[in-house]
Amino acid sequence: MRAVQYADEMTTDPPADPSDPPEPRVDRPGIPADYGAADASEFVAWSTVERRLDTARVFWIATVGAAGRPRVRPIDGLYLDRTLYVGGSPETRWVQEVTANPHVAIHLDGIDDVLILDGVATVLGSVDAALAERLATASNAKFPAYHMTAAVYRARGAIAVRLRKVVAWTDITRDPTRFILDGD
């Protein structure tokens, strides 16, 4: 069983596999009482979040430019090992913004099954052979029209967004949930 913290309780069983990261800490996001979340009685399961990240085809990423103006754009991506991998040309404005300010917010399509990610992006000029193989395999399963190869990932790299926090709900009055992944 993995370590999981729910609001006021903590289980401390070690992960089954020492290389597996512990489950995120779980609590309620700060939502004003008049939104109806004060009586929430359930939490969204982390496995539900990961399943949505695995299957989502479109991610809306928010970046901030040098002048402080936010920008939002749709991108596609691959979720592996609690990291969202996306691609983008260094010539695009959003990649230049991520290079200058790596803090990003990401939202999945839809309003009924909400997933809001807070992360830190790193532009990787290249990736090692093992990760390149995994990314190519995942890309070809999810986006077969792209015909990605490990060689492309080794040469071009990727943008890795390490998740810090995730807010999720299927009904804001029933199950608003915050997952904290990096100790914040």
pLDDT tens per residue across span 33-88 = 899 888 899 999 999 999 999 999 999 999 999 899 999 999 999 999 999 999 99
pLDDT at 8 over 80: no
| Domain presence at residue 12 | no
Those residues whose C-beta lies under 8 Å from the C-beta of residue 20, and which sit 6 or more positions away, are 2
Mean pLDDT of 109-114: 84
- 156 located within any domain: yes
- Kindly tell me if the per-residue pLDDT of 15 is higher than 90: no
Q: Is residue 143 part of a domain?
A: yes
Confidence bin at 176 (pLDDT 50/70/90)? very high
Domain hosting 82: range is 45-175
What Å distances lie between residue 140 and 4, 16, 21, 148, 179, CA to CA? 33, 30, 26, 6, 29
User: In this prediction, what percent of the chain has a pLDDT beyond 70?
Assistant: 89
How large is the average pLDDT for residues 139-167? 96
Structural domain count of the chain:
1
Q: Is pLDDT above 60 for 5?
A: no
pLDDT at 13 over 50: no
Does the reported pTM lie above 0.75?
yes
pLDDT band at 182 (very low <50, low <70, confident <90, very high): confident
Residue 183, pLDDT score: 57
Q: Is 1 among the domain residues? A: no
- Of 22, 4, 29, give the one whose Cα is nearest residue 117: 29
Whole-Å CA distances, 179 to 47, 101, 167: 12, 23, 6
In a domain, 116, yes or no: yes
* Eight-class DSSP state of 132: H
What's the CATH number where 100 sits? 2.30.110.10
pLDDT of residue 109: 84
Task: Please report whether residue 30 resides in a domain.
Answer: no
**Residue 86 in tokens:** 């996306």
Residue 75 maps to a domain:
yes
Higher pLDDT, 20 or 69: 69
* Structural domain contains residue 16: no
> What's the mean pLDDT when you consider all of the chain?
88
